[in-house]
Structure 1
Amino acid sequence: MKLLAALLAASLLSTTAYGAQASWQHKPAQSCLLQPLSGADSKFCRGDLEVIYPELGEVGCKHIPQCQQYQRRISRDWGSPRVQYPRAEKDKKYLLVLVDPDAPSRANPRNRFWRHWLVSDISGADLRTGDIKGQVLTAYSRPSPPPGTGYHRYQLLLYQQPAHEAIALSPAEQGRRGAWPMESFVERFQLGSPVASTQFLTKHYED
């Protein structure tokens, strides 16, 4: 009986250790933690908008680390993030924007805003769960800062759509993503100020 009890205890310890190891593999290593933004960059983040990528988890108001090839993977491997807004009103519609204001570089942003993702008619109920459905006006394009241009800000802005307002890009806007006049777009459809916004910073993975 003592031998059986010892074997059961060893088996339980082994299972517990494996479970802890398996769970740990889905989290960034302690030496590879995401650093929070500071100063003016951190002030852009407001309203509890959550942006979640595989393995990294919530990246809002953070630097994407180079370790574990995370900068490469966000630019080359991963698709669109899960975006969640717990404060969304279930019976409202929302519009989500992802732009790079630092194209081609933060020092010379002549192509701001570079439009990476634009989705309208997202229901508040879906936003609460992070299941982004709606009218895709611009398909998701991965953050891909050019080599040697330093860190780029990738900004997500969430707007509440006016009731019964049909949102669409003009033919000229559809023809190019760079140098998008986002302020004119927001004014044209009377979107007002974003209800929430956040951003993360990353650079070319070989820099």
Structure 2
Amino acid sequence: MKLLGAVLVALALLVPGARGSEASRTCIFQTLSEADHGFCRGDLEVIYPEVGDVSCSYIPKCQGYRQKLSQEWGRPRVRFPWAKKNKKYVLVMVDPDSPNRANPRHRFWRHWLVSDILGSDLRVGRIKGKVLTDYSRPKPSRYSGYHRYQFRLYRQPTHQTVSLSPEEQDSLGTWDLKDFVDDFHLGQPVASTQFLTKNYKD
């Protein structure tokens, strides 16, 4: 998807008369800076049907993509081709930059949490399991800059039941992700990725 976008832009610049109608409709999904790119490990894919895999990229403003992401699009398909078919996994989606990256006092803001996902489903991008937090769209506040939306995939220990405490259920913000991971012995993520976006009006 990202490579195709770059090729289309290059062709638009090289082919006479291609500027204007074709070039103006082309969007480039820029890859993240080296520092942010380092978070992306293990070939985890985050797929929104209208644009494809947005892993490790900025969501561009063109084509109204940022607005659609925050107002229209439902939850993405999350695919992990290396999942072990008979194992279970826990998927976490968080914003570590709430209310902004310079002062993330509400870190982590929980956007989606699903446990008991079968590896066979993960391989094809089906997130079926126990939904502990319903998916909520990325909606960065105006003038808060870029926010990272991180996806962390953990292997769920056999016979382990994962849940949220009543206090955690009452609040999405200021979630202690480390305590959650430690409480259920999830260890390090088997794969992780993120995309960056900001308020569509900025």
Find out whether 1:77 has 2:72 as its counterpart.
yes
TM-score (norm 2): 0.87
Q: 1:179 aligns with which of 174, 177, 181?
A: 174
Which of 116, 129, 132 is the equivalent residue of 2:127? 132
C-alpha offsets along residues 90-139 of structure 1, whole Å, 9 cap, x if unaligned?
01000000000000000110000000000000000000010110000000
1:96 maps to which of 87, 91, 94: 91
Residue 196 of structure 1 aligns to which amino acid in structure 2?
A: A
The corresponding residue for 2:117 is 122
Does 1:50 find its partner at 2:37? no
* Long gaps (5+) in structure 1: 1-27
Matched residue SS, 1:120: strand
Post-superposition offset of 1:164:
0.3
Cα distance in structure 1, aligned partners of 2:24 and 2:38: 27
Structure 1 residue 54: Cα displacement? 2.1
Structure 2 segments unaligned to the other structure (5+ residues): 1-22
CA contact (8 A) 2:25 2:63 kept: no
TM (norm. structure 1) is 0.85
Deviation at 1:38, TM superposition (A): 1.6
Taking only the aligned residue pairs, the percentage that are identical comes to 62
Greater helix content = 1
Judged with a 3 Å threshold, the aligned counterparts in structure 2 of structure 1 residues 162 and 29 are, in CA distance, closer, same or farther, namely: farther
- Is the counterpart of residue 163 in structure 1 residue 144 in structure 2? no
Secondary structure at the counterpart of residue 159 of structure 2? coil
Aligned residue for 1:151?
A: 146
Cα-Cα RMSD: 1.2
Q: CA deviation at 1:29?
A: 7.3
Residue 55 of structure 1 deviates from its aligned partner by 1.7
Q: Post-superposition shift, 1:33?
A: 1.3
Q: How does 1:181-196 map to 2 (within 5 A)?
A: 181-196=176-191
Aligned residue in 2 for 1:106: 101
Residue from 60, 65, 82 that aligns with 1:65:
60
Post-superposition CA distance 1:48-95 (Å, at most 9, x none): 000000221100000000000000000000000000000000010000
Q: Quick one: distance in 2 between partners of 1:31 and 1:133?
A: 34
Q: Following TM superposition, by how much is the alpha carbon of 1:30 offset from its aligned partner in structure 2, in angstroms?
A: 6.8
Distance change >3 Å, CA 78–CA 29, structure 1 → 2: farther
Match of 1:198 among 186, 193, 196: 193
* Counterparts of residues 14-29 of structure 1 (less than 5 Å): none
Structure 2 CA distance for aligned equivalents of residues 55 and 174 of structure 1: 31
Question: What count of residue pairs does the alignment treat as equivalent?
Answer: 180
